[in-house]
Amino acid sequence: MTTVAIIQARMSSSRLPGKVLKPLLGLPSIVFMAQRVRQARCVDRLIVATSVDASDDPLAEVLAAHGIECFRGPLADVLARFHQAASHAGADVVLRLTGDCPLIDPELIDRVAALVIEGSAAYATNAVPASFPDGLDVEAMRIEALAAAAAEATLPSDREHVTPFIRREVQRFPARSISAFADLSSMRWTVDHPDDLAHVEALLAAVGATSPTGFDRFDLYRAIERHGVQRGQDHQRNEGYLKSLRDDAAA
């Protein structure tokens, strides 16, 4: 069984253009994140899925320079891009990660993936319901579930955000989730706005990080407690998806 981690990323973010190439500890953020994902034991192959749009050429060049596999597909139809990348890689289990989560935790990736790899679920996540800090989101799914979504989903929000169709089809695709030891969902560790980047840099300084690896979410929790660098959700969690739902309703 082949488990493929796919990080979706693009340069044309509306809230922070080029965010995936912003530097963290001297590395482009997407490279920083990829090195953390590679620490997950379950990952057999790692792909960054970006678009064929010319705006993403600089991202593809950076990935090539760092030896990170890149797949390019449709810009707007992210679901098709994901399915094409997963099929290209011969995936049995697909991990969906987003490029705005540089502090992603390898152990969480393994825990979520295990629910699908071991056969107890067709879809699993730690993000619904939200209990972990925003920026640690992991989704895992069997390739059959992703293929069904790619073939059947019609809502623009489903095509852009990849997995809502699968989550709604729970009778077809049994789902499981994991939760944090407490409700930490008010913490914001994602990079989606300019002030998010400064906050992640402060978190890395607080934990004493000198490379993308060698620390986990518990080290970050302890550093937050010691140094008081944590801030809450100044921006709405999942604001892009919520906007897409509003657009669906208005169409």
Decide: 88 and 76 in contact? Cβ < 8 Å: no
Which structure tokens are listed for 248? Answer: 């669906």
pLDDT in tens, 113-133: 999 999 989 999 999 999 999
**Alpha-carbon torsion (60, 235, 223, 98), positive or negative:** negative
Task: Dig out the tokens for 129 from the structure.
Answer: 């319901």
Return the SS3 of 221.
helix
Q: What is the pLDDT along the chain (251 residues), one digit of tens a residue?
A: 999 999 999 999 878 889 999 999 999 999 999 999 999 999 999 999 999 999 999 999 999 999 999 999 999 999 999 999 999 999 999 999 999 999 999 999 999 999 999 998 999 999 999 999 999 999 999 999 999 999 999 999 999 999 999 999 999 999 999 999 999 999 999 999 889 999 999 999 999 999 999 999 999 999 999 987 665 555 555 555 445 545 655 55
Question: Tokens 């080290």 label which residue?
Answer: 219
Q: Which two tokens stand for residue 103?
A: 């502090």
User: What share of the chain in percent tops pLDDT 70?
Assistant: 91
Please count the other Cβ atoms lying within 10 Å of the Cβ belonging to residue 184. Answer: 19
Residue ranges and CATH numbers for the domains of the chain are: 3-250 (3.90.550.10)
Please write the tens of the pLDDT for every residue from 43-61. 999 999 999 999 999 999 9
